[in-house]
């Protein structure tokens, strides 16, 4: 019956003096709540242009969703900390009469919206994550405050006199400081008033001038079920810390309905997304990848990511997203993600590669759960690891240069990864996809001590000596190894033994010992002429010219019933590499194809060593090792 419907203005009001005015933001909702209270209505419906209160600001968190139901108290907390769907005073009149509030979308009538009531059956710990994007902190501090009453009262009265709303308050138990958060637009008048009120104490040195920190944001976890729930604060701080987000100040009321932190504004989007993924477990976790290096291994890695995406989404709720990629000539970025199956077609048409610009793009995007993957052999690319780790972006790489530089630099990268809660992983530096370094790490972490390491660490050299029979020229076998993708881009690095020297150095360092590369004794099997080649083509010519040398090495081993293996060892504080004749009774004798093998002799394995064996070269196995490191980082970011 339309005659029973009353229609009245919403935000039009009258002052005590009888003048017309408006109620300001949320005025119509507040008026409706007052009428609902007066008439003791059965329900209060608020129709808006959104479908209800959201788990986070949808402008910053694309995965945010509508909260179907929450308590009056949780709604008050969310609205206080920035949720603009409902105005805080609107809730109080409905709460007094226990009137349910339903928020609906005028343009999406079928959406269920959000229902706000006193209580219901709910097991979720966190209802939402709210934020205020532009605040500043005011710090009043000084030794003269300790034990002196009335400082707090004067401080807050000064702000109240200028109609400045305080959003967050913290005070040290020593009474040495008081810190409050206010809206940034109130900063100047707040500082002016506080300096006036405390001028005598500031001039006498009893307290310091008001300290102001700007360009900050508030993030608040809200949920009535947080009360007495162990680990919520720790989880929040851990998630922020792993993403390189420093917390300026923390507050939690005795009701335990919210935990509030202040962070730098530039990190707000990253913080909200990281927390949303962490606390709403049904959400898909996004792991952001930045890749330099699109050679054979890089392409194999892209193929593996593409093939595994459906599995990761289905089984682990995880989405690996390639945000940026580059080769030596061009680079391409897309914050929404590059298609690993097609973006290589667009890469040649993209912007010119510049390493500094690539780093700046990673820094400016400031995405959570980020991993930088270097799939090159470039010393120049390895130089940026330090800056990458400082941005709390983990580094995964098969590039051995960083891990074999001066021990001081190697140690620095390790310490930076700890300091900035990132990871520096290089499993594929030794043994391609074999779990060599992870096995060694487990031994060391569990308290075992490495006594001796014997290893065949070059899949390339093993392939060459398994296929060379003195009938096919040695140089042709080397060319075949490169064609099959088993060598470094320049095979001279493999045949010189430098690659193996770097690998045994890494094994020694990861065992807990301090060595430099020049302490590795490398015994080359190449004739002197081949060691001074000008380029790869010249190297092949000299290998062909010295075929007699290689044939002699083979024949000598054959005459003794042995096989040639390029062996690396660590024993008695000595690191050595060189070509050896291996008899049938040794584990190295039966190595096939491009296999690697590592024997770990430890206090727990003194006679029968712990053995890691398998394919140690090739694009696919190296890519799988990179993938494994990426997953290690992603799983520790959970």
Q: Which pLDDT does position 40 carry in this prediction?
A: 94
Close Cβ partners of 102 (under 8 Å, ≥ 6 residues apart): 43, 44, 45, 46, 113, 114, 115, 116
CATH number at residue 484: 3.30.360.10
Closest listed residue to residue 487, CA positions, set 442, 446, 432: 432
Q: Which pLDDT does position 274 carry in this prediction?
A: 93
Q: How large a percentage of the chain has pLDDT more than 90?
A: 75
Same domain as 449, residue 589: yes
| Contact of 262 with 247, CB cutoff 8 Å | yes
Please state whether beta strands 258-264 and 249-252 pair in parallel, antiparallel, or not at all (unpaired): antiparallel
pLDDT band at 174 (very low <50, low <70, confident <90, very high): low
Same domain as 414, residue 539: no
CATH number at residue 99: 3.40.1160.10
pLDDT band at 270 (very low <50, low <70, confident <90, very high): very high
pLDDT band at 281 (very low <50, low <70, confident <90, very high): low
Quickly tell me which residue has 């690191």 as its tokens: 575
Average pLDDT of every residue of the chain: 92
Closest listed residue to residue 396, CA positions, set 277, 524, 298, 317: 298
**In whole angstroms, what is the distance from residue 398 CA to residue 506 CA?**
12
Q: Which pLDDT does position 498 carry in this prediction?
A: 92
Same domain as 552, residue 458: yes
User: Is residue 298 pLDDT above 70, yes or no?
Assistant: yes
The predicted model gives 421-448 an average pLDDT of 96
Q: Which pLDDT does position 2 carry in this prediction?
A: 64
DSSP tag of 208: P
Quickly tell me which residue has 């405390």 as its tokens: 198
User: Is residue 570 pLDDT above 90, yes or no?
Assistant: yes
User: Is residue 1 pLDDT above 70, yes or no?
Assistant: no
Of 279, 298, 322, which residue is a domain's last? 279
Q: Which pLDDT does position 454 carry in this prediction?
A: 97
Express each pLDDT in 354-400 by its tens digit: 999 999 999 999 999 999 999 999 999 999 999 999 999 999 999 99
Element (H, E) at 218: strand 211-222
The predicted model gives 199-223 an average pLDDT of 92
How many independent structural domains does the chain possess? 4
Same domain as 473, residue 337: no
| Tokens, residue 125 | 């710990």
Longest dimension (CA), the chain: 115
3 noted as active-site residue = no
Same domain as 139, residue 258: yes
Where are any strands of DSSP class E within 62-108? 69-71, 101-105
User: Is residue 4 pLDDT above 80, yes or no?
Assistant: no
Q: Which pLDDT does position 638 carry in this prediction?
A: 61
User: Is residue 253 pLDDT above 80, yes or no?
Assistant: no
Same domain as 379, residue 419: yes
Which of 37-51, 115-129, 574-588, 594-608 shows the lowest per-residue confidence on average (mean pLDDT)? 115-129
Residue 181 φ/ψ region, left for φ over 0, alpha for ψ in the -120 to 50 degree band, beta for the rest: beta
Close Cβ partners of 295 (under 8 Å, ≥ 6 residues apart): 327, 375, 376, 489
User: Is residue 435 pLDDT above 90, yes or no?
Assistant: yes
**In whole angstroms, what is the distance from residue 356 CA to residue 363 CA?**
11
Q: Which pLDDT does position 590 carry in this prediction?
A: 92
DSSP tag of 610: E
Same domain as 315, residue 260: no
Q: What is the pTM of this model?
A: 0.84
Same domain as 246, residue 291: no
How far, in Å, are 167, 291, 633 from residue 371 at the CA level? Answer: 35, 8, 8
Relative orientation angle of helices 474-483 and 459-467, to the nearest 10 degrees: 130
Close Cβ partners of 565 (under 8 Å, ≥ 6 residues apart): 456, 462, 465, 579, 580, 582, 588, 589, 591
Express each pLDDT in 531-555 by its tens digit: 988 899 999 999 999 999 999 999 9
Of 257, 279, 301, which residue is a domain's last? 279
The predicted model gives 99-118 an average pLDDT of 93
3-state DSSP of 130-180 = EEEEEEEEEEEECHHHCCCCCHHHHHHHHHHHCCCCEEEEEECCCCCEEEE
In order, the DSSP letters of 377-433 are --HHHHTTHHHHHHTT-EEE----HHHHS-HHHHHHHHHHHHHTT--EE-GGGTTTT
| Contact of 327 with 348, CB cutoff 8 Å | no
Express each pLDDT in 477-532 by its tens digit: 999 999 988 888 889 989 999 999 999 999 999 999 999 999 999 999 999 999 98
Q: Which pLDDT does position 13 carry in this prediction?
A: 85
Close Cβ partners of 243 (under 8 Å, ≥ 6 residues apart): 267, 270, 271, 274, 368, 369, 392, 421
User: Is residue 81 pLDDT above 80, yes or no?
Assistant: no
The predicted model gives 462-472 an average pLDDT of 94
**In whole angstroms, what is the distance from residue 422 CA to residue 417 CA?**
5
Same domain as 247, residue 294: no
| Tokens, residue 374 | 């270097």
Closest listed residue to residue 35, CA positions, set 86, 105, 101: 101
Closest listed residue to residue 460, CA positions, set 432, 440, 425, 438: 432
Relative orientation angle of helices 547-559 and 474-483, to the nearest 10 degrees: 90
Quickly tell me which residue has 């991993």 as its tokens: 371
Please state whether beta strands 520-523 and 574-582 pair in parallel, antiparallel, or not at all (unpaired): parallel
Q: Which pLDDT does position 151 carry in this prediction?
A: 83
| Tokens, residue 84 | 């603009």
Q: Which pLDDT does position 397 carry in this prediction?
A: 98
Q: Which pLDDT does position 254 carry in this prediction?
A: 63
In order, the DSSP letters of 469-489 are -SSS-HHHHHHHHHHTT-S-S
Of these residues, 503, 542, 594, 613, which one is catalytic? 503
Q: How do the residues of the chain divide into helix, strand and coil, expressed in percent and rounded to 5?
A: 40, 25, 35
Where are any strands of DSSP class E within 23-86? 44-48, 69-71
Q: Which pLDDT does position 77 carry in this prediction?
A: 85
The predicted model gives 26-46 an average pLDDT of 92
Closest listed residue to residue 439, CA positions, set 627, 635, 609: 609
Same domain as 180, residue 52: no
Express each pLDDT in 346-363 by its tens digit: 999 999 999 999 999 999
Q: Which pLDDT does position 486 carry in this prediction?
A: 86
**In whole angstroms, what is the distance from residue 201 CA to residue 506 CA?**
60
Same domain as 608, residue 461: yes
Q: Which pLDDT does position 8 carry in this prediction?
A: 83
Same domain as 193, residue 147: yes
- 539-559 burial, b for 16+ CB within 10 Å, e for fewer? bbebbeebeeebbebbeebee
The predicted model gives 441-445 an average pLDDT of 96
Relative orientation angle of helices 536-545 and 547-559, to the nearest 10 degrees: 60
**In whole angstroms, what is the distance from residue 580 CA to residue 566 CA?**
6
Of 259, 279, 299, which residue is a domain's last? 279
**In whole angstroms, what is the distance from residue 568 CA to residue 588 CA?**
12
User: Is residue 617 pLDDT above 90, yes or no?
Assistant: no
Q: Which domain holds residue 66?
A: 2-121
């Amino acid at each position: 019956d339309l005659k029973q419907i009353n229609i009245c203005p919403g935000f039009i009001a009258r002052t005590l003096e009888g003048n017309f005015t408006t109620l300001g933001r949320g005025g119509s909702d507040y008026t409706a709540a007052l009428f609902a209270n007066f008439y003791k209505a059965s329900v209060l419906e608020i129709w808006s242009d959104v479908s209800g209160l959201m788990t986070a600001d949808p402008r910053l968190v694309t995965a945010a969703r509508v909260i179907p139901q929450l308590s009056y108290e949780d709604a008050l907390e969310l609205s206080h900390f920035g949720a603009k769907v409902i105005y805080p005073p609107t809730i109080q009149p409905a709460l007094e009469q226990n009137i349910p509030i339903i928020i609906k979308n005028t343009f999406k009538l079928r959406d269920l919206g959000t229902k706000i009531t006193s209580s219901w059956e709910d097991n979720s710990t966190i209802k939402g994550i709210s934020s205020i994007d532009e605040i500043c902190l005011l710090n009043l501090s000084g030794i003269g405050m300790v034990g002196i009453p009335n400082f707090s009262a004067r401080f807050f009265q000064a702000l109240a006199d200028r109609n400045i709303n305080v959003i967050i308050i913290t005070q040290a138990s020593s009474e040495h400081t008081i810190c409050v958060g206010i809206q940034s637009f109130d900063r100047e008048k707040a500082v002016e008033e506080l300096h006036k009120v405390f001028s005598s104490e500031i001039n006498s040195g009893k307290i310091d001038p008001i300290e102001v920190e700007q360009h900050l944001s508030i993030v608040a976890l809200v949920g009535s079920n947080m009360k007495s729930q162990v680990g919520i604060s720790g989880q929040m701080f851990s998630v922020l810390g792993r993403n390189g987000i420093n917390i300026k100040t923390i507050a939690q009321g005795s009701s335990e309905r919210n935990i509030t932190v202040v962070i730098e504004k530039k990190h707000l989007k990253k913080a909200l997304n990281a927390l949303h993924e962490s606390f709403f477990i049904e959400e898909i976790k996004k792991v952001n990848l930045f890749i330099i290096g699109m050679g054979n291994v890089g392409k194999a890695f892209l193929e593996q990511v593409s093939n595994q995406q459906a599995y990761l989404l289905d089984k682990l709720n995880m989405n690996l997203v390639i945000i940026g990629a580059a080769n030596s000539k061009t680079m391409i970025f897309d914050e929404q993600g590059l298609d690993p199956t097609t973006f290589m077609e667009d890469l040649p048409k993209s912007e010119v590669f510049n390493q500094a610009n690539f780093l700046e793009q990673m820094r400016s995007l400031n995405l959570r759960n980020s991993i930088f993957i270097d799939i090159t052999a470039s010393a120049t690319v390895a130089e940026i690891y330090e800056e990458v780790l400082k941005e709390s972006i983990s580094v995964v790489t098969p590039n051995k240069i960083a891990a074999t530089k001066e021990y001081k630099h190697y140690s620095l990268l390790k310490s930076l990864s700890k300091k900035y809660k990132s990871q520096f992983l290089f499993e594929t530096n030794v043994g391609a996809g074999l779990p060599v370094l992870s096995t060694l790490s487990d031994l060391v972490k569990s308290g075992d001590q490495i006594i001796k390491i014997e290893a065949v660490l070059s899949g390339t050299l093993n392939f060459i000596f398994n296929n060379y029979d003195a009938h096919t020229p040695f140089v042709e076998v080397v060319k075949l190894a490169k064609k099959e993708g088993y060598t470094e881009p320049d095979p001279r690095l493999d045949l010189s033994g430098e690659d193996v020297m770097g690998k045994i150095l890494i094994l020694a360092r990861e065992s807990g010992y301090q060595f430099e590369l020049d302490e590795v004794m490398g015994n080359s099997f190449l004739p002197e002429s081949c060691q001074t080649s000008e380029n790869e083509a010249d190297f092949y010519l000299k290998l062909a010219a010295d075929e007699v040398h290689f044939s002699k090495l083979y024949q000598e081993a054959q005459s003794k019933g042995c096989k040639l293996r390029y062996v690396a060892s660590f024993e008695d504080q000595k690191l050595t590499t060189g070509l050896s004749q291996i008899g049938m009774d040794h584990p190295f004798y039966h190595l096939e194809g491009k296999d690697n093998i590592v024997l770990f002799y430890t206090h727990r394995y003194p006679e029968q060593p712990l053995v890691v064996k398998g394919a140690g070269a090739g694009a696919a196995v190296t890519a799988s090792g990179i993938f494994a490191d990426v997953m290690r980082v992603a799983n520790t970011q959970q």
